[in-house]
Amino acid sequence: MVDAAPPIPARGDRRDLLKADCASCVGLCCVALAFARSADFAVDKPAGDPCVNLADDDGCRIHDRLRQSGFRGCTVFDCFGAGQHVARSTFGGVSWRDDPAVRRSMFAVFPLMREVHELLWYLGEAVSLSPLLDSELRSEVTAVLDETERIAEGTPEEVLAADLNTHRDVVVELLGRVSAAVRARAPRPSGKRPKKVGPRSDLMGARLAGADLRALTLRGSYLIAADLSGADLGFTDLIGADLRDTDLRGADLSAALFVTQPQLDSARGDALTRLPRAVHRPSHWV
């Protein structure tokens, strides 16, 4: 058993609460999810089987040396607080170790709740951008946030029955309009813009060091191993952008839109990289 907790307070920008608290979880990401032997994981693990490194107290035996041990993927995964919410609120403190029926249900709910919490993260940012939105768009953000929170606070059966595909589409479309409204009011660069830069761009290995990317949308773009060192990403939409091994040293992301912790954890940066308030500097950055 883990201590049960009341539902997370509703309303507004809750991103400070949408962060993993492994001590309040029951090792869900280490059991419920599958991973394959690769550059990110040293072994294969089917969904539902505990990781070989999971201890009986639900802690990780190699937490302080995951990267050196071949488990880089663990260091870039973030459940957005879904793990502790499922353990403490959705299931009221009951662990997957306690009952086979709970185990099956909890493992089915966890990945869905992780998706819901990620949507709440993005909607929390939309709330923080409310001063730049008109009243109609602010009202839409509030309504969709309310519905997403309702799903998050549901029973296991209600979470499993929710039409997340349709709801995700609604959120994505809304966030696109929020992004467009905010970027339309952002300062525009006067210099020449990089070519072939836009949503869902293939920018793998691109050389964009020092580029002025302000107010562009790079949502869904592939920036794997791209050089963005020293780039200005003020009000640049980075939702869903793949930043694996992207060089962000000295880049300014302080006003970038929809940046998540997993994106930063998969990238490379340094002490000069400027970050948004809601995320933190990864410990492995130089």
49 located within any domain: yes
In this prediction, residues 267-274 reach a mean pLDDT of: 98
Identify whether residues 201 and 237 lie together within a single domain: yes
Which residues pair with residue 45 across a beta bridge?
Answer: 35
Identify whether residues 60 and 83 lie together within a single domain: yes
In this predicted structure, what is the pLDDT of residue 187? Answer: 83
67 located within any domain: yes
Last residue of a domain, one of 182, 215, 250: 182
Residue 91 vs residues 50, 143, 150, 163: alpha-carbon distances, Å: 19, 26, 16, 20
Short-list 270, 279, 276, 273, CA closest to 256: 276
Identify whether residues 62 and 178 lie together within a single domain: yes
97 located within any domain: yes
254 located within any domain: yes
8 located within any domain: no
Alpha-carbon distance of 114 to 86, in angstroms, equals 9
Identify whether residues 28 and 135 lie together within a single domain: yes
Q: Please write the tens of the pLDDT for every residue from 65-101.
A: 999 999 999 999 999 999 999 999 999 999 999 998 8
The widest CA-to-CA distance across the chain, in whole angstroms, is 62
Domain tally for the chain? 2
Identify whether residues 208 and 166 lie together within a single domain: no
Read off the CATH number of the domain in which 239 is found.
2.160.20.80
Q: Please write the tens of the pLDDT for every residue from 95-132.
A: 999 998 899 999 999 999 999 999 999 999 999 999 99
Please determine, for residue 241, whether its predicted confidence score (pLDDT) is greater than 70.
yes
Q: Please write the tens of the pLDDT for every residue from 28-57.
A: 999 999 999 999 999 999 999 999 999 999
23 burial level (CB within 10 Å; 0-12, 13-18, 19+):
exposed
Please determine, for residue 193, whether its predicted confidence score (pLDDT) is greater than 80.
no
Global confidence as pTM: 0.91
Last residue of a domain, one of 114, 149, 182: 182
Which residues pair with residue 232 across a beta bridge?
Answer: 212, 252
Domain with 88, as residue range(s), is 15-182
Cβ neighbours of residue 2 closer than 8 Å, sequence gap 6 or more = 24, 25, 26, 87, 88, 93, 95
